[in-house]
Structures are given as structure tokens and as C-alpha cells.
């Protein structure tokens, strides 16, 4: 199976057909950055229209069984996720509501401090808040995965320790390989993997050594080193692909409505748009290059399958359903 742990593309039939051309069986898609509850519901409505219009290409994924169904029927299962807890606003009851609507991942913070945790751009990391602890417990109960991709180090380590179920970093790389603010320190990766969690390796150029000029060999070397250190079962791909998005979308991702100033994060103020993808992963059609690169690095066929989808599939199977009994309506 082939599973991408995170994408935020400009969704279209073109993208969906490219998923199929590369054999992607499932993709975790971002449906909220800074949207509130009602605004995120509108994004779900748009996806419902795509599911209806393109039912030969995509289906709404809610459990690992849907990945298997997509694989068997040559379609791609789409799993919803949030890059911020804004869709639950300040209401813990919306955690269960969103799980019923199909959300399967929620980041506790996106770069900034949230009601739940500290983001990775803050100078002071206070860790998981009182509400954050309660929300993690509720997320564990209903089967909504804790995602700490844009969270600060202490908050991530505490989330891994507090959560009764494994957590995820769906899209990031190893800080020691490339010291980008969003990449993860050894102590963070160790905390997540020691508790059974997953990290999806990112193809976003700001997270890569030499950015857009990163080579496939360098990227696969990072994967090989991480596997040797933490174990192969804890890793997959979370490409963070923003294919076909216009540059203006970067402003929404970074700024939302929280500031009047422009904040482009790890991007250059002189070039605030999306960076150029590396030549070996320009868009969704280039997934086969990852398999070739891993084979060239010495991974066996079964190991390549685990890294490119099998590990995420197992993680989905273990973490997308209620912890005990049935969640409410």
C-alpha cells in the first residue's frame, strides 16, 4: 500500500488522477488551518461534492478498512485532518462531533500558542495546557489522532507522555540532518517513537537539507539513519505537498487572522511564495522515485512497503476507532 501522511494541494480531478497514477491508496488531507467550526464544515461540504463527482477516483476514508477498499477498487481514500485545533474552538464536545464528521488527525498547535499547546515558533514553551490535557484524553477516547507536527519540543514530549494512545508527527524531518525550526530534535523523536508513535518524512523544501536542491540520496540517507536509530516501524512519508496552490495561500497558512503583519515562517521574506520542489519529487506522479531511492539505499522490498504505506496502515488500524465501546452521536 502507498499512503501519504499529509498533503495540502489545490484539490482537483488532475490531482486525484495523479494519485491513482502513482498508486496512492490513502492521503491525509488538511481541511483546516485557521478555520473555525462552521468554516471547516464548509470545507467538508466541498469534499462531499468531490466524493460524489469523482467516486471512481476517491472515497471518504474513516477506518483502515477504507484503505483496503480503496486499494482493491483502485481508488484513493481521503482522511481529514486539521493543522490547528481551531475547528473545535473552545468546546471539547466538538472533538467527538468532528470524529463523527470524519476527522482523524488534529494538530494541537500550528506554530503559535493555542488553547492546547505551544507552537514551534514561540520563544517560550509552556507545554500542554489544562484544556490540552482534557482534549488529549477525549481524542484518545474517540479515535482522533494527536498530531504535533507544528508544535514546540516540550509540548510534543508532554503530549507523547500524556496520551494513552500513540501520537503522530505527520510531516517533519530530523533536526540533526537539517536544523529547520520545524524539524524534530532527537529527544522529541525518541519520546514519540518510544510510545509507539509515527513520524512522516516531509518533502517540503524548507525541511530538506539544501532545500530545493536536496538530492534523493540525501533524503533517503536521512531515512536510513532514522530507521537505524529508532526502528523502521515508526516511519512513513508525510510529503506536505502543496501541489498547484497559488502563492497567496502561504499568507493564509502563516498569518490566518491572528496578525496584521506578514509572517512567512521559514520562507524568505524576499520570496514569500511556495518554494520549488526538488526535481525528483515535483508532484504526486513522482512517488515511484521514493521507492527507487530507498531500494538504492539498501532497503528490502518489504521495508520499502512499510515506509511508503504499511506503517501508516497499521497506525490507522490501531488509532482511528473509539478506545472502548461506541462513541456517542
Q: β-pairing, 58-60 with 76-82?
A: parallel
Q: Please report the pLDDT score of residue 55 as a whole number.
A: 98
Q: Which residues contact 314 (CB under 8 A, 6 or more apart)?
A: 64, 233
Using alpha carbons, select from 189, 138, 186 the residue that is nearest to residue 164: 138
Separation between Cα atoms, residue 66 and residue 151, nearest integer Å: 29
Q: In whole angstroms, give the CA distance from residue 275 to residue 272.
A: 8
**Calpha distance 171→61 (Å, rounded):** 19
Whether 239 contacts 272, CB under 8 Å: no
Q: Is the pTM of this model over 0.85?
A: yes
Total residues found in the chain within this entry:
329
* Tens of pLDDT, residues 18-58: 999 999 999 999 999 999 999 999 999 999 999 999 999 99
pLDDT at site 248? 87
Cα 293 to Cα 220: distance, rounded to the nearest angstrom? 6
- pLDDT, position 265: 63
Distance between CA atoms of 144 and 166, rounded to whole angstroms?
11
HSE at residue 52, side-chain half, CA atoms within 13 A, is: 6
The CATH number corresponding to 3-319 among 3.40.50.150, 3.30.1380.10, 3.20.20.140, 2.60.40.10 equals 3.20.20.140
- Residue 221, all three cell numbers: 540517507
d(CA 123, CA 118): 9
CA atoms of 146 and 139, how far apart (whole Å): 7
By DSSP bridging, strand 3-7 and strand 168-172 are unpaired
C-alpha distances in Å from residue 62, one per residue of 47, 67, 144, 204? 14, 9, 11, 26
Q: What is the pLDDT of residue 264?
A: 61
Per-residue pLDDT at 130? 98
Question: Cα separation of 239 and 236, whole Å?
Answer: 9
Backbone angles phi, psi at 328, to 5 degrees: -75, 180
What is the three-class DSSP state of 196? coil
Q: Residue 49: left (phi > 0), alpha (psi -120 to 50), or beta?
A: alpha
**Sole residue written with cell 500558542:** 113
**Which residues in 81-118 are b (16+ Cβ under 10 Å) and which e?**
bbbbbbbbeeeeebbbbbbeebbbbbbbbbbbbbbbbb
Residues of the chain where predicted confidence (pLDDT) is lower than 50: 326-329
The answer for residues whose C-beta is within 8 angstroms of residue 243's C-beta and 6 or more apart is 7, 9, 10, 15, 283, 284
- Measured CA to CA, the distance from residue 273 to residue 206 in angstroms comes to 12
What does the pLDDT look like over 81-136, one tens digit per residue? Answer: 999 999 999 999 999 999 999 999 999 999 999 999 999 999 999 999 999 999 99
Other beta carbons within 10 Å of 241: 25
- Helix ranges (H only) for the chain are 13-21, 37-53, 64-72, 93-100, 130-142, 153-162, 186-194, 216-230, 248-255, 287-296, 301-305, 311-319
Amino acid at each position: 500500500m502507498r499512503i501519504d501522511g499529509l498533503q495540502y494541494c489545490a484539490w482537483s480531478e488532475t490531482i486525484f488522477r495523479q494519485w491513482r497514477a502513482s498508486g496512492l491508496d490513502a492521503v491525509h488531507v488538511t481541511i483546516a488551518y485557521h478555520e473555525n467550526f462552521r468554516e471547516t464544515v464548509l470545507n467538508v461540504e466541498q469534499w462531499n461534492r468531490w466524493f460524489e463527482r469523482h467516486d471512481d477516483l476517491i472515497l471518504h476514508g474513516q477506518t483502515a478498512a477504507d484503505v483496503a477498499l480503496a486499494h482493491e477498487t483502485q481508488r484513493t481514500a481521503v482522511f481529514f485532518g486539521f493543522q490547528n485545533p481551531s475547528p473545535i474552538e473552545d468546546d471539547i464536545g466538538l472533538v467527538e462531533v468532528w470524529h463523527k464528521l470524519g476527522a482523524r488527525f488534529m494538530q494541537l498547535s500550528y506554530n503559535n500558542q493555542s488553547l492546547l499547546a505551544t507552537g514551534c515558533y514561540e520563544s517560550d514553551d509552556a507545554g500542554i495546557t489544562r484544556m490540552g490535557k482534557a482534549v488529549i484524553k477525549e481524542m484518545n477516547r474517540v479515535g482522533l489522532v494527536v498530531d504535533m507536527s507544528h508544535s514546540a519540543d516540550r509540548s510534543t514530549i508532554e503530549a507523547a507522555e500524556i496520551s494513552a494512545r500513540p501520537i503522530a508527527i505527520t510531516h517533519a524531518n530530523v533536526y540533526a540532518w537539517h536544523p529547520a525550526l520545524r524539524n524534530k530534535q532527537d529527544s522529541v523523536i525518541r519520546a514519540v517513537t518510544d510510545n509507539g508513535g509515527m513520524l512522516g518524512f516531509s518533502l517540503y523544501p524548507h525541511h530538506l537539507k539544501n532545500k530545493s536542491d536536496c538530492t534523493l540520496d540525501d533524503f533517503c540517507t536521512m531515512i536510513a539513519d532514522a530507521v537505524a536509530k529508532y526502528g523502521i516501524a515508526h516511519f512513513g512519508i508525510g510529503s506536505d505537498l502543496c501541489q498547484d496552490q497559488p502563492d497567496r495561500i502561504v499568507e493564509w497558512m502563516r498569518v490566518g487572522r491572528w496578525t496584521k503583519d506578514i509572517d512567512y515562517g521559514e520562507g524568505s521574506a524576499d520570496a514569500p511564495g511556495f518554494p520549488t520542489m526538488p526535481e525528483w519529487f515535483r508532484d504526486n506522479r513522482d512517488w515511484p522515485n521514493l521507492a527507487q531511492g530507498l531500494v538504492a539505499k539498501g532497503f528490502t522490498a518489504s521495508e520499502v512497503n512499510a515506509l511508503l504505506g504499511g506503517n501508516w496502515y497499521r497506525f490507522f488500524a490501531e488509532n482511528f476507532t473509539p478506545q472502548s465501546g461506541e462513541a456517542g452521536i
